[in-house]
Amino acid sequence: MKRIQLVRYGSPETTCECIEVDDLPPPAAGQINVAIRASAINPADLLIFEDRYPGPESLPAFVGIEGAGEVIAVGDGVDEYQVGDHVLSLGRANWSEQVSGECAQFVKLPAALDWNAAAQLKANPPSAYLMLENYVTLNRGDWIIQNAANSAVGRHVIQGCKARGIHSINVVRRAELIPELEALGADIVVVDGPDLAASVRERIGAGAEVRLGIDAIAGDAMLRMADTLSNGAVVVNYGFLSGDPCQLTPTHTIVRGISLHGFWLVGFFQTANRQQVVDMYTKVAQQFLSSELHVPVEAEYPLTDIASALEHANREGRSGKILLRC
């Protein structure tokens, strides 16, 4: 069968190879074998390949954060799954025609969920959901602000806010993104710059409370976002996009009481119990089925064309996700 392995660090399209490996043996007791049907290329995959994000301890290594597929065999003692079930793989080597693992490494998905949605279910939708849910108590009519609003996580934040009646302020780098994000449900879309705080306050009013900032960039972008926030607000950083450290001034933290928290989905898995993980993915899957969440797919590639897929995923200005199809 075919699998993708990371063989070197560098520009993403130069880092991976598709290789042939032996087919999986029958699953051991308590394990299942899964045929992967589709995998999304996540921004974190690209950062791993550039050696800018936690990844494999040594190379070569099998990779791929996201993947969903169909159970093709079950081992002795497995009651939770049966052949034909659709599942999400929680492993981190999913760019493969088949994967195997303990039952807890998978989460059952509704059969009605199409593979395009299932392929991108693991990382970005729950990240948006947990950041909106876990740091500030938000009620209908409240405001939040985020940067990198055109990213996959950003789009899920917009859609999640719309469904909950929360107002979203969305910071982007290019004005041409404004109509697209407004059509998705964004209340306000603004282009980043030195006058960001003034621009935001002109739109929402000086007294409007903005108690949550969701940051994917760090560096100066975080400073500009913090200037838009209300006293006592929380900044949640989940991304490395600028490559610069997170930045808040003493005025932000001491005088205005703004706090900074880091979010990593891996951290959630490390502390959550099995039922919490299953419940979260069940809820997110239902959001896709109800059309509350949707992210377009721009292109699909076979595993054998991994270099082209990675080059495409690394382009600026994409309008959708890049998928690998097995």
The domains of the chain are located at 2-120+295-325, 124-265
Enter the tokens of residue 18: 């598709």
* C-alpha span between 243 and 223 (Å, rounded): 14
Mean pLDDT, range 197-201, rounded to an integer: 96
| CA neighbor of 84 nearest in space, from 68, 96, 99, 73 | 73
Do the beta carbons of residue 190 and residue 175 sit within 8 Å? no
* Least confidently predicted of 115-129, 241-255, 312-326: 312-326
Of residues 193 and 243, more confidently modeled = 193
Do the beta carbons of residue 31 and residue 99 sit within 8 Å? no
CA-based angle 7:12:13, to the nearest 5? 90
**Digit-coded pLDDT (tens) for 19-48:** 999 999 999 999 999 999 999 999 899 999
**What pLDDT is attached to residue 241?**
87
Long-range contacts of 127-131 (CB under 8 A, 24+ apart): 127/153, 127/156, 127/238, 127/263, 127/265, 128/153, 128/154, 128/156, 128/157, 128/160, 129/156, 129/160, 129/280, 129/283, 129/284, 130/263, 130/265, 130/268, 130/280, 131/157, 131/214, 131/236, 131/238, 131/263
**What pLDDT is attached to residue 284?**
94
**Digit-coded pLDDT (tens) for 83-127:** 999 999 999 999 999 999 999 999 999 999 999 999 999 999 999
**Pairing label, strands 210-215, 143-146:** parallel
The pTM for the full model equals 0.89
Mean pLDDT, range 223-232, rounded to an integer: 98
CATH for the stretch 2-120+295-325: 3.90.180.10
Do the beta carbons of residue 106 and residue 31 sit within 8 Å? no
Taken in order 77, 82, 88, 92, the sign of the CA dihedral is positive
Residue 125 identity (one-letter amino acid): P
Fold annotation for 124-265: Rossmann fold (3.40.50)
Residue 236 identity (one-letter amino acid): V
Mean pLDDT, range 228-234, rounded to an integer: 98
Q: Mapped to the 3 state alphabet, what secondary structure does 101-156 carry?
A: EEHHHEEEECCCCCHHHHCCCCCHHHHHHHHHHHCCCCCCCCEEEECCCCCHHHHH
**Is residue 158 scored above 80 in pLDDT?**
yes
* C-alpha span between 267 and 272 (Å, rounded): 9
**What pLDDT is attached to residue 93?**
97
Those residues whose C-beta lies under 8 Å from the C-beta of residue 123, and which sit 6 or more positions away, are 42, 44, 65, 66, 265
Those residues whose C-beta lies under 8 Å from the C-beta of residue 104, and which sit 6 or more positions away, are 90, 274
Across the chain, what does the average pLDDT equal? 96
Angle of helix 219-228 relative to helix 196-204, nearest 10 degrees, comes to 30
Q: In this prediction, what percent of the chain has a pLDDT beyond 90?
A: 93
CA-based angle 265:9:261, to the nearest 5? 25
Q: Counting Cβ atoms within 10 Å, is residue 174 exposed (0-12), middle (13-18) or buried (19+)?
A: exposed
**Is residue 317 scored above 80 in pLDDT?**
no
DSSP string, 228-278: HSPTT-EEEE---TT-SPP---HIIIIIS--EEEE--HHHHHHHS-HHHHH
E strand intervals along 188-233: 188-191, 210-215
**What pLDDT is attached to residue 320?**
87
